[in-house]
Structure 1
Amino acid sequence: MSLAFLLTTLVVVATPGTGALYTVATGLAHGTRAAIVAAVGCTLGIVPHMVAAVSGLAAILHSSAVAFQTLKYLGVAYLLYLAWLTWRDDSELVAESSPATPPGPWRIVGTAVGVNVLNPKLTLFFFAFLPQFVDPAAGPAFLRMVGLSGVFMAVTLVMFAAYGVFAAGVRTHVIRRPRVVTWMRRTFAATYVALAARMAVTSR
């Protein structure tokens, strides 16, 4: 594993994107546990990209404009769906000690997995960049790609969990201000729309 791979991984993971946005939003809305669950879900959402890259589907999508465009517009539709849900959400934020029940962990994981499965940033990373860090002379390419993917997933889990825990830590200062809550939701919804728009106009 090279320093270049580690630096590239840190840049890709640290750059705010759909997964980080969802984890932060979950931490603000539902607290630390939910944020960590969201981080785990986003990390699990990396697995399909890894499997596709390792199994050779990467070459197919890289050469097929139709396949890539299909995945991209599925991601656009999913982001717009999240924006719609966030905009319509008028539920009251409550502290963790409140009896109110946040979404179940499986629901959070399912949404988080969907966010990252349809994340073209990950598609580009695994389909275009990851193979460049695999040296055939260093051993079986399959094992090398699995190992590098594991490192990428570990970095994602740690960084997203940190984002989510920080967001959960400041949520008590947010929930006392209804206007801030409304502004926050509108901002997240607008950000989802902006990400969808950028995704829609991004070429391969």
Structure 2
Amino acid sequence: MTLAFLITSLIVVATPGTGALYTVATGLAHGTRASVFASVGCTVGIVPAMLAAVTGLAAIMHSSAIAFQTVKWLGVAYLLYLAWITWRDRSELIASATESERPSTWRITWTAVAVNVLNPKLTLFFVAFLPQFIDPARPPVAQMLSLSAVFMAMTFVVFAGYGAFAAAVRTHVIRRPRVVTWMRRTFAATYVALAARMAVTAR
């Protein structure tokens, strides 16, 4: 494992994307604990891409336009769905809300899983990026698994940090209803923008 891999992975993870956006939105809406579950879900959502890369399925997806387009458009549709429910959300952010008033941890986690599973670029990242750091003289599968584990650990730590920061400023946000409204509209617009960027990506 090289320093170049660690630095490059950190840059990739820290660059805001759909997973980071969902974690931040969850932290703002429901607090630190919820954002941690969102981080867990985003991390677990990497597993299918990792397994695809290890088993060679990612190479098939990379060469198959139909497979890539199918996953891509499912991802676009899901991002637009998140934008729609975020835009329509009129509930108040209440710091003292009871557990029954919050989304279940399973719902938060599995939504986060879906956000990353339906991102075809993540699979292509594994098939195009990780092999560059594989030593041909050593067993490739073990190396892929160890590098993927490090990448997943980075994802959880960085996303949890994003969520904790969002939760920390939450008390300042919930006192301003207009800020809450524009915050949700901004998140919804960002989901749409990410969907549009994914839609126009050929590969």
- Give the TM-score normalised by the residue count of structure 2: 0.97
Runs of 4+ with >4 A deviation: none
**Matched AA of 2:61:** L
Q: CA deviation at 1:98?
A: 3.1
SS at match of 1:136: coil
2:6 corresponds in structure 1 to 6
1:61 corresponds in structure 2 to 61
Q: CA deviation at 1:8?
A: 1.5
CA distance in 2, matches of 1:192, 1:123: 20
Is the 2:36–2:163 Cα contact (8 Å) retained in structure 1? yes
1:49 corresponds in structure 2 to 49
1:191 corresponds in structure 2 to 190
**Matched AA of 1:158:** V
- Are 2:41 and 1:25 aligned? no
**Matched AA of 1:196:** A
**Matched AA of 1:57:** L
1:83 corresponds in structure 2 to 83
CA distance in 2, matches of 1:121, 1:164: 23
1:178 corresponds in structure 2 to 177
1:114 corresponds in structure 2 to 114
Question: Unmatched 5+ residue regions in structure 2?
Answer: none
SS at match of 2:187: helix
Q: CA deviation at 1:121?
A: 3.3
CA distance in 1, matches of 2:177, 2:201: 36
* Matched residues, number: 202
SS at match of 1:92: coil
Q: CA deviation at 1:118?
A: 1.1
Deviations 1:158-189 (A, max 9, x none): 00000000000000000000000000000000
CA distance in 2, matches of 1:158, 1:53: 23
2:146 corresponds in structure 1 to 147
Deviations 1:43-101 (A, max 9, x none): 00000000110011011011111111111111111100100010111011010x33362
- Give the TM-score normalised by the residue count of structure 1: 0.96
Q: CA deviation at 1:119?
A: 1.8
Superposition CA RMSD, Å: 1.0
Question: Unmatched 5+ residue regions in structure 1?
Answer: none
